[in-house]
A and B are shown apart, each in its own frame.
Chain A
Amino acid sequence: MKTAVNRFNPVQDPPGETARRPISKIGVLPQEQWSPDDPTVLYEVIVPHQVALPGWVEPSMRAVTEGTESTRTTSQTFGSRASAELPVLRAVRRLPPFPRPRERFMVLQQWEGTVVTVSGEEFIAVMRDLTNPSRPDEETTLPIDEVPESDRRLLVSGAVFYWSLGYKETLSGQRERVAALRFRRLPVWTSSDLRDLQRKADEYARLFGRSTPATGS
């Protein structure tokens, strides 16, 4: 029986891997070949059906008997540090991870807002309906409290933000109404940008001319 197997390091494998691809050659798979991994990631290990699986392959496995082989899927465990080997008849395969339950945000309404003025504890913005663009723009007064602390410095006239209203469904199945306001982050003007502006302005002047303040001609 071959003893050499490829060392497998699941950390290097891209998360969300959906293709079943072999991660080791057939032969003997020592315990030390296994590396820490996400407990939701499963491996398919095909071993002769009469083989007793060592402790480091247990506890969770699903066994399906096919002919003279047992097909087992398992997650690795690190309970036993005793040296052990697992004779594998085919390459160990990494299976697609179980879909993890996640929080969901269901957007009911989204606006793009442009700040017009900031005054005291509130600001005025013109809101463009992104959910239904045929609806009229709205002028809205919002409390500054609605702006996350991390975005307060962005709250100036001309700043653009997105305001999304909807429901959040938590992992426990609860549903909450949420309003999320996020400012668009743009970089600062650099000297290179300003040189580009000058170049473009020069191009426009070359194409369309330039007035002089005194005469306007």
Chain B
Amino acid sequence: MPGSSADLHQPPVVDEIEVSLFGPGVGESAVVHLGGGDWIIVDSCVERTTGRPIALRYLEDLGVDVAKAIKLIVVTHWHDDHINGVAAILRAAQSARIACSAALRSEEFYKLIAASERAMMVSPGSAEFSAIFEILTKRAAPGVRPESVGPDWVQANRRLWQRQGSGPCPVDIFSLSPSAASMTLAFREFAQMLPQEGTTKRRLIAQTPNEVAVVLWIEAGDIRILLGADLENTCNPDTGWQAIVTSDARPTGLAHVFKVPHHGSANADHPDVWVTMLVINPHAVLTAFSRGHPLPTAADIERLKGRTPNAYCTTRATRADGGWAPPRRDAAVERTLKEVIRTRKALTGPMGHIRLRARHFTPDSIQVDLFNGAYRL
């Protein structure tokens, strides 16, 4: 039975795989130990109190030498809640490659980054990319193009990273998305967001469904992991989950661990994923999302419980509106707020943490631990 009596700061042993998922209500970050002291980080969010990426703090608390041990950082997409703090991780992880969706390697996206810099109203996503580009430019040896040090531009059915001879077991990491059709749609979306002459400068807000997120497939020993990012379904069979499920170029096999996409929402759920890509009753992990219409909804939770009894969420909102009670402020401020505003909720609570570990990379030995408010659905 999963619980929090396990030692949070006990690092995994050398032949133990770990998947840790963090989320406080807005934002998520996954940290994966591939055995042999090799780590990867997928997306990033920061602790409110310190402003530091939770992934870095977790690894440092485990005694991991982040400069050498982190091999790969994957930015699944450019939305604020997945990228906050990535530049700080890249700066610390001097041995790591960074991988991003190839849909971002476009003139339109570059212009959006440049527009955010000039508008003096930088959103976290664009600020992180500016910082990432700056770090990579400095990291490149003189006379060498920064492109050689990254980012690795990711699209469907490509190998991102591999470990063969050394280490406790072979490891392969593949990207299953974005498809070429998704990238074309993304270029169009970015073009529509570009500033027009005569319009007022303002902050960049991403509003459209996510079709270009990077979905990862990890094989380590006998264990397979599917990290679904925020990829959603679309009506176009060449994009989203439909493109992945029907692809004959992706790795075969069934995953034992599934990071449920887009906070368990119905528009990111594809029944064929559960049938053709996952074992029966996989370990499913997800993060909550409290902004706007909160996720997962009650219906989402019931659907997930129907798919597997082993489903876990990083954090549970304390209020019916999907948020948390805002901290109390000066009495005069509170009186004014009561008179003026209509609704109000804090968007983040405790940084919940779901940790899965398996000794000897065997699926039957998967152990689940829940920390800081994470719970079983």
Contact = CB atoms under 8 A, between A and B. Distances in A.
B119 interface: yes
Closest 7 CB pairs of A and B: A200-B114, A201-B110, A158-B202, A204-B110, A186-B201, A141-B343, A141-B342
B10 interface: no
B159 interface: no
A131 B105 CA distance: 38
B201 A187 contact: yes
26 contacts: A109-B333, A116-B291, A135-B327, A136-B25, A137-B26, A139-B290, A140-B344, A143-B340, A158-B205, A159-B200, A165-B337, A166-B333, A177-B332, A189-B199, A194-B195, A194-B197, A198-B111, A200-B110, A207-B137, A208-B146, A208-B147, A209-B147, A211-B102, A211-B153, A211-B183, A216-B155
Interface string A176-213: 01010000101111110110111011101101111101
Chain B: number of interface residues, binned into ranges: 35 or more
B197 A189 contact: yes
A188 B147 contact: no
Point out which of A154, A156, A187, A209 has the most chain B C-beta atoms below 10 A from its C-beta. A209
A207 B196 contact: no
A209 B133 CA distance: 12
Contacts of B290: 139
A134 B327 CA distance: 11
A22 B133 CA distance: 59
Interface string A121-153: 010101000000111111111110010000000
Interface in B147-176: 147, 151, 153, 155
A214 interface: yes
A186 B121 contact: yes
A2 B24 CA distance: 82
B303 interface: no
Interface in B1-50: 25-26, 48-49
A214 B346 CA distance: 43
B113 A204 contact: yes
Nearest to A184: B121
B215 interface: no
Interface in B310-367: 323-324, 326-327, 329-330, 332-333, 335-337, 340-349
A65 interface: no
A188 B114 CA distance: 15
Nearest to B324: A136
A201 B114 contact: yes
A139 B323 contact: yes
A119 B49 CA distance: 33
A188 B202 CA distance: 9
Given A158-B205, A186-B120, A213-B184, A109 B329 contact: yes
Interface string A81-100: 00000000000000000000
Interface in A159-181: 159-160, 165-167, 177, 179
A52 interface: no
Contacts of A73: none
Given A114-B203, A211-B153, A138 B336 contact: no
Contact of A179 (B207, B329, B340): B340
Contact of A188 (B133, B187, B199, B332): B199
Given A197-B195, A213-B187, A205 B118 contact: no
Given A158-B204, A209-B147, A134 B49 contact: yes
Specify which of A143, A207, A214 lies most central, judged by the most chain B CB atoms within 10 Å of its CB.
A207
A109 B330 contact: yes
Contacts of A116: 205, 291-292
Contacts of B292: 116, 124, 139
Contacts of B324: 136
A157 interface: yes
Contacts of B153: 209, 211
A122 to B, nearest CB: 6
A213 B191 CA distance: 13
Contacts of B327: 135-136
A211 B105 contact: yes
